[in-house]
Amino acid sequence: DKKGQTAIAHTNIAFIKYWGKADPKLNLPTTSSLSLTLDEYYTKTRVEKATEDSLLINELPQDGKRVHQFLNILREEMGDFPPLRVISENRVPLSAGLASSASSFAALTAAVAKFNNWDLSLEELSRLARRGSGSATRSFFPGFAIWEKGTDDADSYAKEFKTPELPIALVVCKISGTVKKVSSSDGMRRAQTSPNYAAWVDESAQQLAEMKKALFSSDLERVGQLAEANALAMHDLNLTATDRRFTYFNQDTMKVLEQVKALRKEGYLAYATMDAGPNVKIITNQEQAPKIKAYLAERFRKIQFDIATPGPGISYE
């Protein structure tokens, strides 16, 4: 009879994005997506037997409606378990607007499963975590993962995508500042009203197929091109939404994107990807990452830059 269980999940960045739901209740996506798990950012979550469900993130008590709902989904799916105190340590810089829901829901799913001695594969954990947050499906695996959209609740989950060892790195530009917050779920709902949405879904499938080939052949230039094209098209859906069009970009986002182009003109390997916030992650290799970081740090005194590299799958303490 255990008192508690801890699990650690690293965050992931999508190179081919999840941006739209075929079923919002089950978080079934309209497209398959592919991501890289990062070493530098993670969530460590402990669950302990308690008298009622509660949530603490970085020592602060939270209302945690999403977490409460998710624990109840797990109870429905897997059978009842006692109330849990959830204690989470989030090492994802929130100021950077990096998504923490991926690592948070992956760590929580793994901790609860192990605490209850559920005998589940990583794919089965991924499937359950999807109900908390779609991007969490991909945070169980080291390196690259593909979330196959599937057709229903049973077959929509992520798997590891094994590639040759790649010297890939990301330069994470931690742009903060004033942008109106639009949650991923709301952003997706609105993006799906874009007249370009159906074309994006089709294009995304082609880009995913090409991305797999590029990763297999260790062609980082092509990986970057495809990821940037996919991300820009995703953000175009937000701008062209019929229902309250919007953008996650701010002026710094645009300026960094210009510099990414300038870097390419100077012969660097540098491609940008952006998620539900203003910051930019630059896809490059490990040799060039410190040079790109220095180049940008000189031009943007107020932006902080990190270098991120491929990270591990789920682990337990």
Crossing angle between the packed helical segments 220-239 and 197-216, to the nearest 10 degrees: 170
Span of 50-58, 129-137, 167-175, 290-298 interacting with ligand DP6 by CB under 6 A: 129-137
Q: Percent helix, strand, coil in the chain (nearest 5)?
A: 40, 25, 35
What does the alpha-carbon distance between residue 36 and residue 145 come to, in Å, rounded to a whole number?
A: 7
Select the residue interacting with ligand DP6 from 103, 135, 176, 225 (CB under 6 A). Answer: 135
What does the alpha-carbon distance between residue 106 and residue 101 come to, in Å, rounded to a whole number?
A: 8
Count of positions on this chain that bind ligand DP6 (CB under 6 A): 15
Binding of residue 106 to ligand DP6 (CB under 6 A): no
The answer to whether 21 and 27 are in contact (CB under 8 A) is: yes
Q: Which is nearer to ligand DP6, 73 or 297 (CB)?
A: 73
Select the residue interacting with ligand DP6 from 43, 45, 133, 225 (CB under 6 A). Answer: 133
Binding of residue 18 to ligand DP6 (CB under 6 A): yes
Which helix (H) or strand (E) segment is 294 a member of? Answer: helix 289-299
Q: Which is nearer to ligand DP6, 185 or 285 (CB)?
A: 185
In whole angstroms, the minimum distance from the beta carbon of 220 to ligand DP6 comes to 20
Segment 163 to 222, residues that bind ligand DP6, using CB under 6 A: 184-185
Beta strands 271-274; 315-316: pairing state: unpaired
The answer to whether 112 and 47 are in contact (CB under 8 A) is: yes
Task: Kindly tell me the burial class for residue 13, based on how many C-beta atoms sit within 10 Å of its own C-beta (0-12, 13-18, 19 or more).
Answer: buried
The answer to whether 171 and 296 are in contact (CB under 8 A) is: yes
Please list the residues that pair with 46 across neighbouring strands: 6, 87
In whole angstroms, the minimum distance from the beta carbon of 260 to ligand DP6 comes to 18
Binding of residue 14 to ligand DP6 (CB under 6 A): yes
Select the residue interacting with ligand DP6 from 11, 43, 101, 279 (CB under 6 A). Answer: 101
Segment 268 to 287, residues that bind ligand DP6, using CB under 6 A: 275-276
In whole angstroms, the minimum distance from the beta carbon of 275 to ligand DP6 comes to 4
Span of 10-18, 57-65, 73-81, 111-119 interacting with ligand DP6 by CB under 6 A: 10-18
> How many other C-beta atoms lie within 10 A of the C-beta of residue 60?
8
Binding of residue 17 to ligand DP6 (CB under 6 A): yes
Q: Which is nearer to ligand DP6, 146 or 263 (CB)?
A: 146
Residue numbers at the binding site for ligand DP6 (CB under 6 A): 14, 17-19, 27, 33, 99, 101, 133-135, 184-185, 275-276
